[in-house]
Chains A and B, each alone.
Chain A
Amino acid sequence: MRIHWKELRQYDEKAMEKTIAQCQTLMKHKENWFVSKKTAYRQFAKLEIKRISVVYGFFLLCLLYFLLFSEQMKIGIVLLYYLLLGSYFLYQLYEFKNNDMEELMQALPIHEGKRFILHMCTFLIIHLISFLSFSIVGYLRMDISMLEIMQLALIPLFLAHGCMLFFLNRIKRLYTAFISYIILFLFFSNFFHPILINSSALQLGWIQTLIVSLFSTVLFLIAAYRYGLKLQRRIHYGA
């Protein structure tokens, strides 16, 4: 059989196209190990939540105990609960801050900023669950003082955390951060409600308490946004 050179060229081109297509498929396959950022973030969230769920689960169990078995909701118990919840959140922030991983993390697609957002969200959700549960139980028990207690407990938690987030970069050690946080928490608690014997405190009315608790929430969110923004900036421009 005789093949004209033009036909041969045609065969050649076809073969070439086929080879290129095969190469492209191979290349595509080779680089197909990346998932979208959305999927990766979901995987990451799953991994992180699995890691912290034991402790937050314990908090929720404590909450259940208070709600179901505790006859009286004392301000001290609620404050202690929030103090521990806040301490764990602080520990989460420091666990990743103090191990020289920052430089490595900056060169990864999912970075510190995202992790901070995740931890913020988890913390806020747990807090919201606690707040709503305490409030609903207070309402069902027709115990208005419980709603006041909830608002009062919220103030030191958010104010102390707001202050901590403003100065987090300057405090190097977890130990120092813990002590500062506990002092701030106790100070704000005592400032708005006398938790220490013979201490003077602002005795706020219901509306005033609500306003202060809203203010402290806003302050906390601003501090968190500012801290998150700092992390985000550092990711692209170095520490």
Chain B
Amino acid sequence: MELKTHHLSKFYTKEKAAVADVNLVLQEGIHALLGANGSGKTTLMRMLCGILKPSEGIVTFNAKNIMENYEEYILHLGYLPQNAGFYMNFTVIEFLQYIAVLKCLEADYAKRKIDELLELLHLKEQSKKKLRQLSGGMLQRVGIAQSLLNHPKLLILDEPSSGLDPKERIALRQLLSRLAKDTIVILSTHIVSDIENIADDILLMKEGHILFQKTVTDTLQELKGHVYELLTAENEREIIEKNYTVVNCKRVSEGILFRLLSDDMKDKRSIVVEPTLDDVYLSYFHEEAEYVETNLL
């Protein structure tokens, strides 16, 4: 299976492209689309789903243009939009049955699959509750369940972990890892920790451009030797913040422990540490750091 984009672009205004000339080749596995808010992730995902017409370029799935083969393509697509809405008067089970019908699923299969997903996503107890009675995290899990109903070949999840608590996030990661064997999973997020251990490759997106598509190991390798920890006194804080990109700072009994990014570290007190994806993210997006949700900040 192969999903390809050929010079994919989307212009909402003449001056600025929301997505600019994106060329991707994606195969089975988890592909994490990482970028700050407004970087074009959702627009790209909508175009991959075929619900937004590209201004330029095409998307092909197994060498067929998805728009020419849309009826077939959509059968094998699982999609969870960002801030997905629900029919709040439905119960969980009614909603999933409804979506199963809309996905052209055979009744027996749908019944089995719904049971399986309710179990997997820990929704069994809530299955007879109305959707309006559920919390945000539970609704998000219902959204994930509906995207998996048709055992999709291509699963597109736009910020699936938003609203989930840490335990649910871990469960989601495990579920995605399991699915990735025979599914192309594209998941967008700005929560770095969600993808660090499960993504096969990372697609870093900024201002509509894909900056790179690399494996996690390669991505981290690139930053090796550029991440430091430095223990300083309280009064040095301003100088440090001025001279380096600060990933994290933590007050400890001896002073302040900084985690820094630098190409040219001169301070002898610093020690080189292993880079994480948070560091990579911040090395590209340090000017937008206040919008980043990491496990360090």
- Assembly CA distance A236 to B65 (angstroms): 13
If A236-B67, A238-B46, A238-B51 touch, whether A32 touches B102 (CB-CB below 8 Å) is no
B51 adjacent to A107 (CB under 8 Å): yes
Q: How large is the interface on A (under 10, 10 to 19, 20 to 34, 35 or more residues)?
A: 20 to 34
- CB of A115 to closest CB in B, whole Å: 9
A235 at the interface (CB under 8 A from B): yes
* Neighbouring B residues of A33 by C-beta, 8 Å: 105-106, 109-110, 113, 150-151
Binary contact track A219-239/B, C-beta < 8 Å → 1, others 0: 000000000000000011110
CB of B52 within 8 Å of the partner chain: yes
Binds B, one of A77-85, A94-102, A162-170, A203-211: A94-102
Interface size on B, residues (CB 8 A): 38
Write out the residue numbers on chain A whose beta carbons fall within 8 Å of the beta carbon of B102: 40, 44, 105, 108-111
Instruction: Tell whether A101 pairs with B85 under 8 Å between CB atoms, given A108-B74, A238-B46.
Output: yes
The distance in angstroms between the C-alpha atoms of A106 and B86, with both chains bound, is 14
Q: Does B71 contact A (CB under 8 A)?
A: yes
Is B163's beta carbon under 8 Å from chain A?
A: no
Measured in the bound complex, the distance between the Cα atoms of B46 and A100 in whole Å is: 15
**How many A-B pairs with Cβ below 8 Å?**
95
Which residues of chain A are near B75, meaning CB under 8 Å? 34, 109
Q: Please, which residue of chain A has its CB at the minimum distance from the CB of B99? A: A108
For B66-86 the 0/1 string (1 means CB < 8 A from A) is: 010011001101011101111
Contact between A100 and B107, CB atoms less than 8 A apart:
no
Q: Which residue of A lies closest to B70 (CB)?
A: A236
Among B53, B87, B101, find the residue whose CB has the most chain A CB atoms closer than 10 A. Answer: B101
A235→B51 contact, CB < 8 A: yes
A36 vs B74: C-alpha distance in the bound complex, in angstroms? 13
Cβ-defined contact, A108 with B103, below 8 A: yes
**Is B87 in contact with A101, judged by CB distance below 8 angstroms?**
yes
A105 to chain B, nearest CB (A): 8
CB–CB A95/B50 < 8 A: no
- The complex places the Cα of A104 from the Cα of B82 at a distance, in Å, of 10
Closest Cβ of chain B to A46, distance in Å, is: 9
Q: With A33-B109, A47-B98, A100-B84 known to touch, is A109 a contact of B104 (CB < 8 Å)?
A: yes
User: CB-CB contacts of B130-157 with A at 8 A, as 1s and 0s?
Assistant: 0000000000000000100011000000
Are B53 and A40 interface neighbours, CB within 8 A?
no
A-B contact pairs, 19 of them (CB 8 A): A33-B113, A34-B75, A37-B104, A40-B102, A40-B105, A47-B98, A95-B87, A103-B81, A103-B84, A106-B49, A107-B50, A109-B71, A109-B75, A109-B102, A109-B103, A110-B101, A110-B104, A235-B51, A238-B51
Residues of chain B touching chain A, judged by Cβ–Cβ distance below 8 Å, are: 46, 49-53, 67, 70-71, 74-75, 77, 79-81, 83-89, 97-99, 101-107, 109-110, 113, 146, 150-151
Chain A positions near chain B (C-beta within 8 angstroms): 32-37, 39-40, 43-44, 47, 95-96, 99-111, 235-238
